[in-house]
Structure 1
Amino acid sequence: MDTKSENVVWHAHSVSRDARSEVKQHKPCVLWFTGLSGSGKSTVANAVDHLLHKRKVHTYVLDGDNVRHGLNGDLGFSDKDRVENIRRIGEVAKLFVDAGLVVSTAFISPFKADRDLVRNQLSGGEFFEVFIDTPLAVCEQRDPKGLYKKARAGEIKHFTGIDSAYEVPSSPDIHVETDGKTIEECADEVIAALEKSRIIS
Structure 2
Amino acid sequence: MQKLETNVVWQHYSISKEHRQRIMGQKSFCVWFTGLPAAGKSTLANALECRLYEMGIRTYLLDGDNVRKGLCKDLGFSEKDRRENIRRVAEVAKLFVDAGIVIITAFISPYRADREMARRLFAPGEFIEVYVKCPLSECERRDPKGHYRKARAQQIPNFTGITAPYEEPINPEVVVENFNVTIDESVNKIMNYLREARYLLSLT
Partner of 1:112: 112
- What's the CA shift for 1:175? 0.7
Instruction: Return the letter of the residue paired with 1:123.
Output: A
* Letter paired with 1:190: I
Most deviating of 80-89 and 180-189:
180-189
Pair 1:161-2:161 in alignment: yes
Name the residue aligned to 1:194. 194
Report the equivalent of 1:95: 95
Deviations 1:161-200 (A, max 9, x none): 0010000001111111111211111111111111111110
Task: Give the count of matched residue pairs.
Answer: 201
3-state SS of paired residue (1:157): coil
2:110 is aligned with what amino acid? P
What residue identity is the alignment partner of 2:63? D
Aligned partners of 1:3, 1:55: CA distance in 2, in Å?
A: 47
% identity of equivalent residues:
51
2:172 aligns with 172
Q: Which moved more, 1:177-186 or 1:50-59?
A: 177-186
The reply on whether 1:128 has 2:128 as its aligned counterpart is: yes
Counterparts of 1:107 and 1:62 in 2: how far apart (Å)?
8
CA–CA separation in structure 1 for the residues paired with 2:72 and 2:199: 29
Which residue of 2 is the match for residue 62 of structure 1?
62
**Which residue is 2:39 aligned to?**
39
SS in 1 for 2:65: helix
RMSD: 0.9
TM-score, length-scaled by structure 1: 0.97
CA distance in 1, matches of 2:156, 2:139: 16
Deviation per CA, 1:32-69: give whole Å up to 9, x if none: 10000000000000100000011111100000000000
Q: 3-state SS of the aligned residue for 1:184?
A: helix
Cα shift readout 1:50-104 (whole Å, capped 9, x = no counterpart): 0001111110000000000000000000011000000000100000000011101
Give, in whole Å, the separation in 1 of the partners of 2:25 and 2:5. 36
| Aligned counterpart, 2:10 | 10
- Give the equivalent residue in structure 1 for 2:142: 142
SS of 1:15's equivalent in the other structure is: coil
Q: Does 1:81 align with 2:67?
A: no
Shift of residue 12, structure 1, vs aligned partner: 1.4
Residue aligned with 2:31, SS: strand
Cα distance in structure 2, aligned partners of 1:193 and 1:200:
10
Instruction: Tell me the CA shift for residue 132 of structure 1.
Output: 0.3
1:109 shift after superposition: 0.2
Q: Which amino acid in 1 is paired with 2:165?
A: A
Larger mean Cα displacement after TM superposition, 143-152 or 20-29? 20-29
For structure 2, list consecutive stretches of 5 or more residues without a partner in the other structure.
Answer: none
Which moves more between the two structures, 175-184 or 70-79? 175-184
